[in-house]
Structure 1
Amino acid sequence: MSRIFKLSTPKRNTTLRNEERLFEKEAKKIEELEETCRKLYKDAKKCSDSAAALCKCERRITQDLLASSLCQSEEQLLRHVEEWDSSIVKLDLHLQEMNSNIQKTMIEPVKKFNMIFPSLHTAKKKREQSLEEYEKWEAKVKKYQERDRTGNNIVKLHQSRKSLQPAKEEFYEQHYILMEDMPKLYDCRIDYFQPCLEALIKSQVTYNSEAYKIYSELAGQLIQENLTAENYAGLIQQKLQDIKGLSIVD
């Protein structure tokens, strides 16, 4: 009695399982990088917009005060508010310069970097489709290997093996391209973003240094000649406490 030995293959071969684990590891790093870049772009815009909004809000306060009847009737108060308003105008020039630097050295480079990810998603999707095609033909080969060796099954096995080879080659070609490109993309992030972050920090340091200088000069102009800086600070705190103690009743 003759025995027919049937060849079989694992559901997913060991090599392919290992390749998938390595791919998923690299893909996860890219997903985290994309999320970080998206947040970085959003935060950079928020930083710029918030600084501009703060300056506009402060300018609105001085403009409202200058238009008030109280300033019109109090000469000293009017002079102080005018000095405050003038300081805001000076600071606004430095703010515009900082925001321009943030736009050129942070927002635009991050936006450009983010443009890489859509094409990467397309390549990953194409790889996934080729993997499905590869596994489809691999499953067919296994199926016909396990069937009786009739003439019809042998022909289908031969056809499946013939289709399996190009599907396998197509998958591994796309797989190895991504496995080469994804680590390169991830590794280049430091060299790409370090100059951007350095420029951002320098711009913020310059702006805040000018802000400190301008407001220090303004404080010197507002302090009464017969008051020391310590006494003036104490007077401000006392006024703030008085304001907190006010109650509004019908």
Structure 2
Amino acid sequence: MSWNPFSRHAVSKKSVVSKAAEKELEREVKRLEELDEASRKLYKDMKRCVEANNALSKVEHKIVQDLSVSSLNQQEDEFRFHIEEWSHALDSLERYRMEMNSNAQRAVVEPMKKFCSIFPNLQSAIKKREQSLQEYNRCQVKVNKYQDRDRTGQNVVKLDMSRKALDLARDEFLMHDTALKQDLPKLYEGRIEYFESCLEALIKSQVSYNSETFKIYSNVFSQLSHNTNQTLEECKEHNKKLLTEIKGLSLTADD
């Protein structure tokens, strides 16, 4: 949902602030709004990534468990050996998977959650600035009104009071306006360093996990393929040939 006040109404033609100044601030606010959306998306996507890693682990263990209790596993020693090796590999990988997910949580999910928490404060600051601008405009209108009236005693008093209110409104607005103009660009530029440190930690964790995965499964592969020197393509062709032979059986032939 948009939290940019400039997207909801046009700048008043009689505003005490120039349209150019408002447009410049509007661009800064728009950039921060887009950053807010991107940050929340990254936070949610990273949470889904961690959840997907956990789900993958459960599915892999479920497959091995189902194969372990199959009749084929009970009857074929070589098949049982293969399943046991796969099971050992998954058990070894589980520690590294948990470590990667923990690192992802600490390196990305939690930092992004903290980063996203600053945007409600920004929204509040922008809203206060907008409210102070409206008050500033109202006070200026009052001063202009009493300046154009006859200088009677009552009008002079009202003009003096209006000018004092205008001074207070101007100071209030300038305080909010100056703070935003100084801080918004700094926040936007600071996003790069913040994100880079998060992503660097995540990539290091993934490199570590995938390196261990490669080592473990390479060892499993060497155990499973000790009786054959077939390449992956040769295995595919062999299985394709077997499937063709199975389909050629009278029991499996189409009517």
TM-score by length of structure 1 reads 0.84
Following superposition, the deviation at residue 212 of structure 1 comes to 2.0
Aligned to 1:234: 237
Please give the alpha-carbon distance, in whole angstroms, between the structure 2 residues aligned to 1:146 and 1:240. 97
Aligned to 2:144: 142
Following superposition, the deviation at residue 228 of structure 1 comes to 2.1
Partner of 1:137: helix, strand, or coil?
A: helix
Closer/same/farther in 2, CA of residues 18 and 226 from structure 1, 3 Å limit:
closer
What are the residue-to-residue correspondences of 1:182-197 with 2, within 5 Å?
Answer: 182-197=184-199
Query: Of 7, 19, 22, which residue of structure 1 is paired with 2:21?
Result: 19
- Whether the aligned pair in 2 keeps the contact of 1:94 and 1:210 (CA below 8 Å) is yes
Please give the alpha-carbon distance, in whole angstroms, between the structure 1 residues aligned to 2:121 and 2:111. 17
> Which deviates more, 151-160 or 110-119?
151-160
Following superposition, the deviation at residue 91 of structure 1 comes to 1.3
Following superposition, the deviation at residue 153 of structure 1 comes to 3.8
Please give the alpha-carbon distance, in whole angstroms, between the structure 2 residues aligned to 1:214 and 1:235. 26
Closer/same/farther in 2, CA of residues 225 and 131 from structure 1, 3 Å limit:
same
Please give the alpha-carbon distance, in whole angstroms, between the structure 2 residues aligned to 1:48 and 1:180. 37
Please give the alpha-carbon distance, in whole angstroms, between the structure 2 residues aligned to 1:96 and 1:111. 20
Following superposition, the deviation at residue 223 of structure 1 comes to 2.4
Deviations 1:136-168 (A, max 9, x none): 112222333444555544443332222111101
Query: Of 222, 225, 236, which residue of structure 1 is paired with 2:224?
Result: 222
Identity %: 49
Aligned to 1:156: 158
Following superposition, the deviation at residue 27 of structure 1 comes to 0.9
Please give the alpha-carbon distance, in whole angstroms, between the structure 2 residues aligned to 1:118 and 1:197. 24
Please give the alpha-carbon distance, in whole angstroms, between the structure 1 residues aligned to 2:112 and 2:71. 49
Closer/same/farther in 2, CA of residues 203 and 155 from structure 1, 3 Å limit:
same
Please give the alpha-carbon distance, in whole angstroms, between the structure 2 residues aligned to 1:243 and 1:185. 65
Partner of 1:188: helix, strand, or coil?
A: helix
> Which deviates more, 29-38 or 229-238?
229-238
What are the residue-to-residue correspondences of 1:1-250 with 2, within 5 Å?
Answer: 11-13=14-16, 15-147=17-149, 149-223=151-225, 225-230=227-232, 231-236=234-239
Please give the alpha-carbon distance, in whole angstroms, between the structure 1 residues aligned to 2:156 and 2:246. 94
One-letter amino acid of the counterpart of residue 234, structure 1 = E
Closer/same/farther in 2, CA of residues 31 and 242 from structure 1, 3 Å limit:
farther
Counting matched residue pairs gives 237
Please give the alpha-carbon distance, in whole angstroms, between the structure 2 residues aligned to 1:139 and 1:93. 69
Closer/same/farther in 2, CA of residues 212 and 166 from structure 1, 3 Å limit:
same
One-letter amino acid of the counterpart of residue 115, structure 2 = F
One-letter amino acid of the counterpart of residue 232, structure 1 = C
Q: What RMSD over aligned residues (CA atoms) do the two structures have, in Å? A: 2.7
TM-score by length of structure 2 reads 0.82
Closer/same/farther in 2, CA of residues 167 and 145 from structure 1, 3 Å limit:
same
One-letter amino acid of the counterpart of residue 196, structure 1 = C
Partner of 1:38: helix, strand, or coil?
A: helix
Deviations 1:111-158 (A, max 9, x none): 222222222222112112111111111222233344455554444333
Please give the alpha-carbon distance, in whole angstroms, between the structure 1 residues aligned to 2:210 and 2:245. 31
Deviations 1:76-120 (A, max 9, x none): 222211111111111111111111111121112212222222222
Following superposition, the deviation at residue 180 of structure 1 comes to 0.7
- Whether the aligned pair in 2 keeps the contact of 1:223 and 1:229 (CA below 8 Å) is no
Tell me, which stretches of 5 or more residues in structure 2 are unaligned? 1-12
Please give the alpha-carbon distance, in whole angstroms, between the structure 1 residues aligned to 2:207 and 2:242. 32
- Whether the aligned pair in 2 keeps the contact of 1:223 and 1:232 (CA below 8 Å) is no
Please give the alpha-carbon distance, in whole angstroms, between the structure 1 residues aligned to 2:190 and 2:184. 10
Partner of 2:14: helix, strand, or coil?
A: coil
One-letter amino acid of the counterpart of residue 60, structure 1 = K
Closer/same/farther in 2, CA of residues 101 and 238 from structure 1, 3 Å limit:
farther
Following superposition, the deviation at residue 179 of structure 1 comes to 0.9
